[in-house]
Amino acid sequence: MKREIRSVALVGKYQSPDVAESVLDIARFLRERGLTVWIEQGTASSIGMAGGFSLATYEEIGASADLALVVGGDGTMLNTARRLAEHGVPLVGINQGRVGFLTDIGRDDAIARLAEILDGRCTEEARCMLSVEVLRGGARVFQTLALNDVVVNKGDLGRMIEFDVAINDEFVYTQRSDGMIVATPTGSTAYALSANGPILHPTIGAIALVPLCPHALTARAVTLPDDCRIDISLLPPHDARVHFDGQARFDARAGDTLRIVRSPHVVRLLHPENYSYFAMLREKLHWSATPRPR
């Protein structure tokens, strides 16, 4: 079924000359197709141009755009996804970063793949998000969303931290470690993967708990249903630092509780019709690659 796309917003990686050229090339292509084209105002300011195109805030994009094109790497996609999640604007990722798990269209064939998507030859995928709040004395002191992961770690401390983990109000364990990663299926191929966490297919309703350098050798990653509530409570005297998608952070105090649930918002990703999750994994993780000779 062909999508009715009349207005498209472009969001690019900040402070990147290569992205500036790509953003303008894509914007001109879209305008030639008769579409209304906006460039996110921070992108235009960062790369020093707008090329005669209209500027828009994230709020304006969320309210009016039929599609948002993200030009950059996974970090740019994560930031854009969090900013637009509540609006439900579908996103397309054009990779100009290093890895590109979320930005799956290559720079060299971006125009051809975008033409396919605009013609309706694409697939849509919904990625779940995490809703996170920090409770202090029972009152909320911080709240945000995460698409990849929430990471509790020891911050600048040179020692482990200690915390209680509870699932749906049931005590699970007390852990001493460098911290904990709470990852969505999308985030399972990010930091959680390097900490020996499981790879979760995006269609699975699951959340992964992945300990960071636990003191107990029996502490292992656990996969939970995504309708559960996870509470991580810091035990005195340990403070900790909490990171959200590696981009935002909150300095938590001893006694704080980090409460994590699945968000009602999802991120809508559009892929070219030949997109394959497993082909992406083979490419990005170098599966089946021939070993290099010594």
Q: What CATH number corresponds to the domain at position 64? A: 3.40.50.10330
99 and 167 fall within a common domain: no
Mean pLDDT of 217-228: 94
Reply yes or no on whether the pLDDT at 3 is more than 70: no
Burial tier of 31 (Cβ tally within 10 Å: 0-12, 13-18, 19+): middle
Same domain, 160 and 244: yes
Per-residue pLDDT, 34 = 95
The mean pLDDT value for 60-88 works out to 95
Domain membership flag for residue 138: yes
Query: Of residues 74, 149, 231, 256, which has the active-site annotation?
Result: 74
137 and 253 share one domain:
yes
Top pLDDT among 60 and 48 is at: 60
Q: Going along 118-228, which residue ranges are E strands? A: 122-136, 139-146, 149-153, 161-167, 170-177, 179-183, 206-212, 222-225
* Spatial separation of the C-alpha atoms in residues 224 and 203, rounded to whole Å: 14
Same domain, 139 and 92: no
Residues 15 and 38 in one domain: yes
pLDDT of the residue at 51: 65
Does residue 138 sit in the same domain as residue 260? yes
Q: Considering the domain boundaries, does residue 294 fall inside one?
A: no
Q: Is 169 exposed, middle or buried (0-12, 13-18, 19+ CB in 10 A)?
A: exposed
- How far is it, in rounded angstroms, from Cα 200 to Cα 206? 8
Dump pLDDT digits (tens) for 141-166: 999 999 999 999 998 877 899 999 99
Strand pairing partners for 252? Answer: 240
Mean pLDDT of the chain: 93
Residues 144 and 240 in one domain: yes
| CA distance linking residue 40 with residue 20, whole number of Å | 12
Instruction: Give the pLDDT band (50/70/90) at residue 272.
Output: very high
The pTM (predicted TM-score) of the whole model is: 0.92
Reply yes or no on whether 119 is catalytic.
no
Is there a single domain that holds both residue 137 and residue 258? yes
- What's the mean pLDDT in 211-218? 91
What is the model's pLDDT at position 159? 86
pLDDT exceeds cutoff 70 at 7: yes
Parent domain of 52? 7-121+273-284
pLDDT higher than threshold 90 for residue 227:
yes
Q: Which residue has the higher pLDDT, 286 or 36?
A: 36
**Which pair of structure tokens corresponds to residue 287?**
């599966």
What pLDDT, on the 0 to 100 scale, is given for residue 9? 97
Region 67-85 average pLDDT: 95
Alpha helices in the chain (DSSP H): 17-32, 41-47, 58-64, 74-84, 110-118, 191-194, 277-284
What band does 1 get if pLDDT is binned at 50, 70 and 90?
very low
The three-class DSSP label of residue 232 is strand
